Amino acid sequence: MGECKQGQQQQAFWPELSTYDDNRSYLSANFHSIDAAISHYRTLAHSKSWKPLKGRFLLREGRQHAQVELIRERLRILGDYSYDHPLANQRFFDSRLTAAVITFQRRHGLKVDGIVGPNTRKALNITPRERWQQLLVNKQRALVDRVAERPDYIEINIPDFQLRYFRNGEVITQMRVIVGKKDRPTPVMNSTLKALEVNPDWNVPRRIAYEDILPKLQGEREAFDKLGVKLVKGWHEEPNVVSVDELNMDHFYRGELAEQHRFWQPPGASNPLGQLKFIFPNDFSIYMHGTPGMHLFDEPRRTFSSGCIRIEDPMGLARLLLETSEKPALDLDAELETEAASISGLPGNVEIFTRYRTAWVDQDSGVLQFRADIYRRDPNELAQLSAAQQQEPADTVTN
């Protein structure tokens, strides 16, 4: 985020650091609230300066390097390294430092391997002041986000790539998700789950058709054939499949619906939507679905979709949702075996929220969590928060 260059604006938004007397020494990254974390990082921003850890090389247990001493001290300040014992060699990467790196990586959403590489080094280089600002932005998000009106709801934190299903206020399941790319972001929204589509077909959206699929058709025909998509004409209950040699660019996603040429993919194991699709009303044509690309869930940064949300265990979630229905239970296994597309209503009492939180305190463990700002939203919202607070009387600024 960088330092504020205009001193007067900085003073108007940020309370004078020296007016806060917070000399607590946290030996862990645990806090009872986000306000406590804000207070602590405010103090760190005033008292600690960060020297960048340069380089893209790997440091791991058993190695010796001058940077190891800096890493250990930084992790101590951040609360991930709590060992207080004399060291014969400050530059030696020992098992205790490995454990501290793992703790740091886990609460920053990084690959958990105990190795300090480019991504871990980048997270360690973020200054206390930047973290303080990040916490302030996320506190404001929590204040303005709509609160669930029902005890059953699904919450997806986009930067955390996680879905959590709450029933009566308790998490009954959670799973990894894949969200939109930077140029096709998953939006923040509120809705209610309405229907479950079994064996969905895929009506390829215009943008994906033009940007992702058409270039393959115009290039290597073999690459296009591997996708499994078909060219269809018009919009009918039973798709009218035509040869791709008949593609008419004048009607490609253009003109009267009956004349349009478009891409479509039938249900099946290779369908990008997987075998289940979760439908909820929204203004963005977004839905949740399965995927045949299960290997992508092992990636720590999961921005691979075109905006929709791919979920790790669609069958598990569907069964949990259906067990609350007053109607006879849908036999998912039998429906899937037919490979025919069908839509079934859901109870309609489960809200769904997509959030954008890059910093929070875990309610159960109290561990402070940070995530990468994958869509670069933090700086803009920080500027808006700064502008709003500049308009308030100085004695009303309490952050």
What local confidence, expressed as pLDDT, does residue 6 receive?
33
Query: Is residue 239, in this structure, part of any structural domain at all?
Result: yes
Residue 330: which pLDDT band, with cuts at 50, 70 and 90? confident
* Cβ atoms of 225 and 219 closer than 8 Å: no
Token digits of residue 380: 């803009």
Could you say which of 40, 108, 261, 289 is catalytic? 289
Could you say which of 40, 108, 261, 308 is catalytic? 308
The residue range of the domain holding 306 is 151-201+269-349
Task: Read off the pLDDT of residues 251-295 as tens digits, 9 standing for 90 and up.
Answer: 999 999 999 999 999 998 899 999 999 999 999 999 999 999 999
Task: Note the pTM of the prediction, 2 decimals.
Answer: 0.88
Query: Is residue 157, in this structure, part of any structural domain at all?
Result: yes
Tokens 């804000």: give the residue.
Answer: 38
Query: Is residue 146, in this structure, part of any structural domain at all?
Result: no
What is the number of domains present in the chain?
Answer: 3
What is the DSSP secondary structure assignment for residue 72, as one 8-state letter?
A: H
Residue 328: which pLDDT band, with cuts at 50, 70 and 90? low
Task: Read off the pLDDT of residues 29-40 as tens digits, 9 standing for 90 and up.
Answer: 899 999 999 999
* Cβ atoms of 192 and 280 closer than 8 Å: yes
Report the CATH number at residue 32.
1.10.101.10
Clarify whether 40 is annotated catalytic. no
Report the CATH number at residue 196.
2.40.440.10
Clarify whether 289 is annotated catalytic. yes
Query: Is residue 158, in this structure, part of any structural domain at all?
Result: yes
Choosing from 263, 292, 309, the residue where a domain stops is 263
Which of 277, 282, 275, 273 has its CA nearest to residue 352?
282
Query: Is residue 34, in this structure, part of any structural domain at all?
Result: yes
Q: In terms of domains, do 98 and 133 share one?
A: yes
Token digits of residue 70: 């800096």
What local confidence, expressed as pLDDT, does residue 236 receive?
87
CA torsion angle 189 365 35 372 (round to 10): -50
Task: Read off the pLDDT of residues 152-189 as tens digits, 9 standing for 90 and up.
Answer: 999 999 999 999 999 998 999 999 999 999 999 999 99
Q: For 284, how many CA atoms within 13 A lie in the half-sphere containing its CB? A: 17
* Cβ atoms of 151 and 376 closer than 8 Å: no
Tokens 């101590």: give the residue.
Answer: 76
Residue 74: which pLDDT band, with cuts at 50, 70 and 90? very high
Which amino acid type is present at position 128? P
Assess whether pLDDT exceeds 60 at residue 15: no
Q: In terms of domains, do 191 and 316 share one?
A: yes
